[in-house]
Structure 1
Amino acid sequence: MIRSELIQRIADENPHLYQRDVERIVGTVFEEIVAAMERGDRVELRGFGAFSVKKRDGRTGRNPRTGEAVEVDEKHVPFFKTGKLLRDRLNGKD
């Protein structure tokens, strides 16, 4: 599902809301998640999962085309850990 599909589904299920308001709500939720992760905070959505930021140390990598050694800088990457409820539903343990 992409963002526009999510917005459309929420708008369809809530006919009392204008589509532009649903777009604003979805955008605000995503922006707040991103802002929290930028600050290094963890965002937990009960039953769904938790978003966090993990630090990857610098290392020596290889250029796959030439095989040449390349220094890869340390970086921060987003990480998502599924919640128990989501994991159980995906595995048919309703």
Structure 2
Amino acid sequence: MNKSELINNLILENKNNKISVNIIKNTVKEILYCMTLNISQGHRIEIRGFGVFSLYYRSARIYLHPKTGNILRLKSQYITYFKLGKKFREKINI
């Protein structure tokens, strides 16, 4: 699901048009912006029942391309890490 699909699903779930479409769009965009900003600053985001977003530092390493066999050098970088929450994991594994 991408951002526009999320917005469309929220609009469809908006029974009796209690919330305007523009408010839904702006809210989703603002939430994603705040999450991106905080993660890029090194903060951890925990949403109870859903999961935790955090940054993970991956050091430089040598990588062997499996198809061609070429040796590649990968730079060190930060990657975003997501860990499922307990309730979310239980719902998936029913």
Shorter chain as denominator, the TM-score bin is 0.7 to 0.9
SS in 2 for 1:41: coil
Please show how residues 2-81 of structure 1 align to structure 2 within 5 Å: 2-14=2-14, 15-64=17-66, 66-81=68-83
Task: Give 2:88's aligned amino acid.
Answer: L
- 2-structure distance, mates of 1:69, 1:90: 38
- 1-structure distance, mates of 2:7, 2:70: 46
The unaligned stretches of length 5 or more in structure 2 are none
Q: How many residues align?
A: 92
User: What's the Cα RMSD here?
Assistant: 1.5
The unaligned stretches of length 5 or more in structure 1 are none
**Does the CA contact (< 8 Å) of 1:8 and 1:19 recur in 2?**
no
Instruction: After TM superposition, give the deviation of residue 67 of structure 1 in Å.
Output: 2.6
**TM-score, length of structure 2 as denominator length:** 0.87
**Does the CA contact (< 8 Å) of 1:7 and 1:22 recur in 2?**
yes
**In the superposition, relative to structure 1, how do residues 63 and 13 fare at CA in structure 2: closer, same or farther (>3 Å)?**
closer
1:24-66 per-position Cα deviation (integer Å, ceiling 9, x unaligned): 1001111111111100110010000000110101011234554
